[in-house]
Chains A and B, each alone.
Chain A
Amino acid sequence: MKMKQFLAVVLSAAMMLGLAACGDKTVSNSDSASVSASKTSVSASASASESTETEEKEPVTLRMAWWGSQTRHDRTVAVIELYESLNPHVTIEYEPMDFEGYFNKLATLVASNDVWDIFQLGSNFPTYQSKIYLLNDFIKDGTIDVSGTTDAFLRIAADEKGNQVGLCSGVNTYGIAYDPELFKQAGVAEPTQNWTWEDYKNACLTIHEKLGIYGSSKFDDWQAGASMGINQEGFGIGFFTKTNDGLGFTDYKMLSDYMQMRADLVDAGAYPDPGACKEISDIENDFVVSGEAAMTWVASNQFVSLCNAAGRELKLINPPRKKADGPAGVSIQSSQMLCVSQDSKHPDEAAKFIQFFQSSIDANKILLAERGIPTFTAVREALAGDLTDVEKAVYEYVDVVGSFDTGGESVNPASPACTDTIKEQYNYYLEKVIYKEMTADEAAKALYDFAASQF
């Protein structure tokens, strides 16, 4: 009996302790809150003009996440710290991630209704539309001041009904980064704006033959072969229709050339096989960086990271065309945007942060257009003063792409929700072609049928 009583006492004591510990936490939380609140009032009284505004503010915790390279992580964290120092009542918890990990995590957070307050999305935003807190009201009531940007830039982060789903972090476009020195050593002429896939293939083969390295490093096959590839077939033709409710092309053969070329290049050893491609985890350890490849696929905003990692002179050119006088296929787009989530308890605070992030000159002097060329005029002008040569090359390249003939067609900023599934299937069939389990023609047909069945 005594033992039991003793046990009961010990157990209940343990429970009490546990409860007390829980209680403690909340106490210390409010403690730190009151500390930061008193900090607020101190800084407020120091700057007399703000005193009435900041004193009353309740502490707010926002969660934020993004994908990207180490450079982006470092700069974004610095901006978050800057924002916190200017707004002591706001604490931002952040999660930097890589692209795949980001979207996998996002999917689970969507399912559990727990999406980060501030999150980053690209052209795939329609998939997550139900989770996006529209910014329309914030723009109307002035929480977000958009007078510093243009309607055109707002539209690239809006859905087809004109709802503002986010604020664009910068514009970019796709391109090919190449090493002119390696081209020279192999005796291959540098690419021009009108180069074709045939030129690309020959360049890869010659460079591989002469130098024993890969002619080309990993491409974004979906972009190069399907999304942009179909755009290159002619003005007004796209993988999806402008309204995202079906396929925008009718001839499946438009998909087969790229697949065949990729398989031929891997066969010849001029392009890394799928195993070697797996060794590239992000742009900073691309084969171009180590000199094992002469060119690679980049989004224009990644070019600076790539050049910094490589430490050599690299150049930027538009992707090859299907026909030398045909459409370039590339266009200027919103590289990504910041959105406020429906799950956020403080959408107004999140919106204020986004506004700061995109339009503050101080913040953007830290970010340095790493997410693409800023869309706020004042920011762009402030940055223009101290651009490095590499950054200037990016600006010039984006201007060149902007000047390409689009046949009067506007760009569709969004892709339908089934894009991920189709993209996955595209890569699956492409590997089948590379390992000769399918011909390029069969794969193109199968993909076309699969994609059509998604609508």
Chain B
Amino acid sequence: MLRSKTTGNESGRTPWNRFLYNNNTVGYTFASPFIIGFLVFTIIPMLSSLYYSCTNYNMIEKETFIGIANYVNLFKDERFINSVLVTLQYVVFSVPLKLAFALFIAFLLTRPSRLVSFYRSLYYLPSLIGGSVAVALVWKELFARKGLINTNLGKLGIHTVNWFGNMSAAKWPIILMTAWQFGSSMLIFAAGLKEIPSSYYEAAKIDGANGWQIFWRITMPCLSPVIMFNLIMQLISSFMVFTQAFVITGGGPNDATMYYALYVYKQGIQTRNMGYASAMSWVMLLIMGTITAIVFKTSKHWVFNESES
């Protein structure tokens, strides 16, 4: 009855109106800003970079097609191999550190307190400004030879560290800066923690579990889907580390912080081997895809899924 009424109503309109009020039309219209943006800023650049990766494009002269030569040369390039290794090292250090810190703070902030939302905003602040060049410059000054960190180390009678002149020390300011921007992971963890029913904790307490047991037997399993989400997001963003290294160390000393994205930039923009840099970007995509796939594959062993249990 109701159905025939609506069709009756619509058949009274012109085809134009029928088109205008069609669900698909409305849907695509409202989605169009994203679709256009996705096409113009993601798909088209990706396809053109795929094409350029098979050419010797240098941004000035007309490119010529050279097949997979760029990809072959990549694996003969010791700087490229080095950039993969230092990036992996950075990811291995920075992601667990950042996630552990985010979880720790999120855990502290689940306690009922009137200041919780204030603290939450406070700890989120570095994430808002953390990616900016201005903060990177501040860190550069902090860790400079005569910067605040070294001055205070000196006052404490500890040997000052030549942060950016020492190949093994240079990565730490950058890793610390990344860990410092734990805010967004923290918020997601905090939301996840709130989702865990308090009845679980009450039951555990009645059974006589201590805090440590409760954390490992209840909090961690219930939080594991959120952990996986955060892990993947942070893995991806860590592989793309650029701003901090570009501003603070410029890749030095002796390529100790020449991260993947920075090397792509160096090849593509500074020495204008745009074809080569495009090939590097595609290898990066493969590496990141593989790692994400591994995380997904192994997830069934460590991610707790309520529907399965």
Contact = CB atoms under 8 A, between A and B. Distances in A.
Interface in A95-109: 100, 103-104, 107-108
A435 B167 contact: yes
Contact of A431 (B20, B162, B255, B266): B255
B272 interface: yes
Contacts of A417: 60
Contact of A104 (B21, B60, B162, B269): B269
Chain A binding surface SS class: helix
Contact of A274 (B79, B253, B269, B272): B253
A82 to B, nearest CB: 33
A278 B248 CA distance: 8
B165 A111 contact: no
A100 B269 CA distance: 10
A100 B144 CA distance: 21
Contact of B271 (A8, A275, A420, A431): A420
B170 interface: yes
B165 A273 contact: yes
Contacts of B162: 273, 275-276
Contact of A130 (B60, B249, B271, B272): B60
Given A107-B269, A420-B271, A421-B271, A275 B254 contact: no
A445 to B, nearest CB: 15
Given A279-B144, A428-B255, A431-B254, A107 B165 contact: no
B250 interface: yes
A4 interface: yes
A278 B252 contact: yes
A282 interface: no
A275 B165 contact: yes
A58 to B, nearest CB: 32
Interface in A223-274: 273-274
A437 interface: yes
Contact of A107 (B20, B59, B79, B164): B59
A155 interface: no
B145 A276 contact: yes
B274 A4 contact: no
A424 B271 contact: yes
A79 interface: no
Contacts of A401: none
Contacts of B79: 428
A131 interface: yes
Given A110-B60, A431-B254, A431-B255, A275 B166 contact: yes
Given A279-B144, A420-B272, A424-B271, A274 B254 contact: yes
A421 B273 contact: yes
B139 interface: no
A279 B254 contact: no
Of the candidates A103, A274, A279, A435, the one having the most CB atoms from chain B within 10 angstroms of its own CB is A274
A73 interface: no
Interface string B87-113: 000000000000000000000000000
Nearest to B60: A110
B253 A275 contact: yes
Contact of B59 (A110, A421, A435, A437): A110
Contacts of A365: none
B61 interface: yes
Contact of B274 (A111, A273, A434): A111
B247 to A, nearest CB: 10
Given A273-B162, A275-B164, A128 B60 contact: yes
Given A421-B273, A431-B255, A275 B145 contact: yes
A128 B272 CA distance: 12
Nearest to B137: A281
Contacts of B21: 4
A131 B60 contact: yes
A418 to B, nearest CB: 9
A323 interface: no
Contacts of B270: 100, 103-104, 107, 420, 424
Contact of A432 (B164, B166, B254): B254
B72 to A, nearest CB: 15
B60 A278 contact: no
With most chain B CB atoms within 10 A of its CB, the pick from A4, A424, A435 is A435
A211 B269 CA distance: 42
A428 B254 CA distance: 7
B170 A275 contact: yes
B123 interface: no
Given A130-B61, A431-B254, A437-B254, A276 B165 contact: yes
Given A273-B165, A276-B162, 9 more contacts: A4-B21, A110-B59, A111-B59, A273-B253, A274-B253, A275-B163, A275-B170, A278-B250, A420-B271
Interface of B: 20-21, 59-61, 79, 144-145, 162-167, 170, 249-250, 252-255, 266, 269-274
21 contacts: A104-B269, A107-B59, A107-B269, A110-B60, A111-B274, A128-B60, A275-B162, A275-B166, A275-B253, A276-B145, A276-B165, A278-B164, A278-B249, A279-B144, A421-B271, A424-B271, A428-B255, A431-B254, A434-B253, A435-B167, A437-B254
- 10 nearest A-B pairs in the assembled complex, by CB-CB distance: A275-B165, A275-B164, A273-B165, A111-B59, A274-B253, A431-B254, A435-B254, A421-B271, A274-B252, A104-B269
